[in-house]
Amino acid sequence: MSGGIVAPVRKPLVEGQKTYHQITEDLCAPTERTPSTAWVIAFILAASTMAFGVFCVLWTIWMGIGTWNLNRTIGWGYDITNFVWWIGIGHAGTLISAILMLFRQRWRTGVNRAAEAMTIFAVICAAIFPLIHVGRIWVVFYFFPYPNTRGALWPNFNSPLLWDVFAISTYFSVSLLFWYTGLVPDFATVRNRASGLRKKIYNSLSFGWTGSAKHWQRWESLSLVLAGLSTPLVLSVHTIVSFDFATSVIPGWHTTIFPPYFVAGAIFSGFAMVQTLMVLTRKILKLEEYITIEHIESMNKVILVTGTIVGVAYLTELFIAWYSGYVYEQFAFFNRAMGVYWWAYFGMMACNVISPQLFWVRKFRRSVFVTFFMSIFVNIGMWFERFVIIATTLARDYLPSSWSYYRPTWVEIGIFVGTIGLFFTCYLIFVRVAPVVAIAEVKHILKVGGDQYIGDKAHAEKSHEHQAAHHHEHH
């Protein structure tokens, strides 16, 4: 296989000595069997949580933003915290699919499909918050520069909030293209196993894909350029999100370190969410041979690195606040750690900086149990980080007479919980409809990584030899 030079000691990327046909069988199976009881229960839970979220969104739109506990001091609370949290989670999908593709990290094929799907769903969840937080969602199209009858009054192109509109819309649509283009050949695989109406539906979804050599050549060219475009795109998106806070004149929201720190944090939280999903998915769909412990360990290494970068960024912020000699900045950071929201700051530090250090130990990196709990901790920690940056900073501004406190109403909590329901509803539908692991891409890397693929006949011989060797060892 012309897949490059691979050290003979390198472990195979797919375990269990699969043939191409076996891969098709294994990866199509979840879309073909009737849903398990576990799936149905999970779906009902997710969908009812989502339904409550929909109710809370409608309540907000009907009654107005007054149903939230925002006030004149604290103009952003749960809404933007949740927005940044979800957008950050989305970044891991693009990182896995685009950046690891450019770096030729072949292990990404086991997890890229699900991670990209997660990106799409996370961005959908994120987009809800800016849309509803404007209060009058029916005129939300004012965001965009379109020729209008107000003298043609254009939006302010100097504003990071407008850059955000462009960044998030571009990010969502480009991620969708990238994800779907990867899915097209796999939908064709599912189609060719189906019959009747199912075949018709999958034929439509696969756009009539046949697997012609010229099509594959163009498909690879397209994938590579989309990866090349997505890589700076994903960095730009969270950079621009961080500009919402970095370019302001409020102490704590006036920070040049935010772009790299937000991007590292986004990758950190995104990989944690990928771990949460992968640990469950590989177990429930029995895909342990495709999403292996090696994958989990690799992703845990990324979590360790980005978590440590985030930790260094927190300390740098504190140092710079002190070093600046600017009392308002110093107060802002003293207030974060020791002020009214001290518990959020310590939650952030414990979950984001201290707990990932466990992953220096190989045993913990390779433990599914530790990984699962760690992924939850990291997501809680990253939520606190955004809450600290937003609510704590706003609660104590320049003028002590306007200092205030913020706690969410049931509506705000309901919308947040509802987006988690929406996310899992989408993911559960996705695992039923599309192959969770990219079939064509896994077949493509099968022969890379030792003499993994040995065909049907050789397979029997090899396992016979293996047994004999094993037998010999015992004597």
Residues that bind other proteins (CB under 8 A): 1-3, 19-21, 24, 145, 151-154, 156-160, 162-163, 166-167, 169-170, 173-174, 177-178, 181, 184-185, 188-189, 191-193, 203-205, 207-222, 224-226, 229, 232-233, 236, 240, 243, 439-441, 443-444, 455
In this structure, what DSSP letter does residue 153 have?
P
Among the listed residues 334, 294, 287, 322, the one whose alpha carbon sits nearest the alpha carbon of residue 435: 287
Give least dist CB 229 to other proteins, A. Answer: 5
Q: Give the residue with the Cβ less far from other proteins, 103 or 154.
A: 154
Nearer to other proteins, 349 or 434 (CB): 434
By beta-carbon proximity to other proteins, the closer residue of 64 and 232 is 232
- Residues 189 and 434: beta-carbon distance below 8 Å: no
Closest separation in Å from C-beta 212 to other proteins:
5
166 vs 403, which CB is nearer to other proteins? 166
- For residue 361, the minimal CB distance to other proteins (Å) is 37
Measured from the CB of residue 154, what is the shortest distance to other proteins in angstroms?
4
The CB-of-449 to other proteins minimum distance in angstroms stands at 15
460: amino acid identity, one letter: A
Nearer to other proteins, 149 or 158 (CB): 158
**Residue keyed to tokens 């993911």:** 427
Q: Which is nearer to other proteins, 64 or 228 (CB)?
A: 228
Amino acid in the structure at residue 222: L
Q: Output 219 or 416, the one with its CB closest to other proteins.
A: 219
The span from the CA of 206 to the CA of 184, in Å, is 5
* 3-state SS assignment for residue 104: coil
Pick 101 or 321: Cβ nearer other proteins: 101
**What b/e readout covers 57-92, taking b as 16+ CB neighbours within 10 angstroms?**
beebbeeebebbebeebbebbbbbbbbbbbbbbbbb
Q: From the CB of residue 159, how many other CB atoms can be counted at a distance below 10 Å?
A: 13
Q: Give the span between the Cα atoms of 459 and 465, in whole angstroms.
A: 10
Which residue reads 């020791």 in tokens? Answer: 338
CB of 459 to other proteins, least distance (A): 13
Instruction: Specify the residue, 215 or 466, whose C-beta has the smaller distance to other proteins.
Output: 215
CB of 240 to other proteins, least distance (A): 5
DSSP secondary structure, 422-469, as one string? HHHHHHHHHHHHS-SS-HHHHHHTTTSSSS---HHHHHHHHHHHHHHH
d(CA 216, CA 205): 17
* 184: Cβ contacts below 8 Å, ≥ 6 apart: 205, 206, 207, 209, 219
Q: How far apart are CA 433 and CA 455, in angstroms?
A: 29
| SS3 of residue 297 by DSSP | helix
Residues 6+ apart with CB under 8 A from 335: 392, 396
Element (H, E) at 287: none
In the complex, what is the shortest distance from the CB of residue 354 to other proteins, in angstroms, rounded to a whole number?
35
Structure tokens at 26: 């294994």
List of E strands, 32-112: none
Contact present, 268 and 352 (Cβ < 8 Å): yes
What's the min distance (Å) between Cβ of 258 and other proteins?
14
Residue among 86 and 219 whose Cβ is closer to other proteins: 219
Q: Write out the E strands in 314-397.
A: none
Beta carbon of residue 215, minimum distance to other proteins (angstroms, whole number) = 5
With beta carbons less than 8 A apart as the criterion, state whether 387 and 412 touch: no
Element (H, E) at 362: helix 362-365
Taking the least distance from each CB to other proteins, the nearer of 108 and 396 is 108
The nearest distance, CB 475 to other proteins, in angstroms, is: 36
In this structure, what is the dihedral angle of CA atoms 86, 87, 90, 94, given to the nearest 10 degrees?
A: -170
For other proteins, give the closer residue by CB, 162 or 417: 162
Q: Minimal distance in Å, beta carbon 10 to other proteins? A: 18
Q: Show the CA angle centred on residue 365, arms to residues 360 and 366, nearest 5°.
A: 145
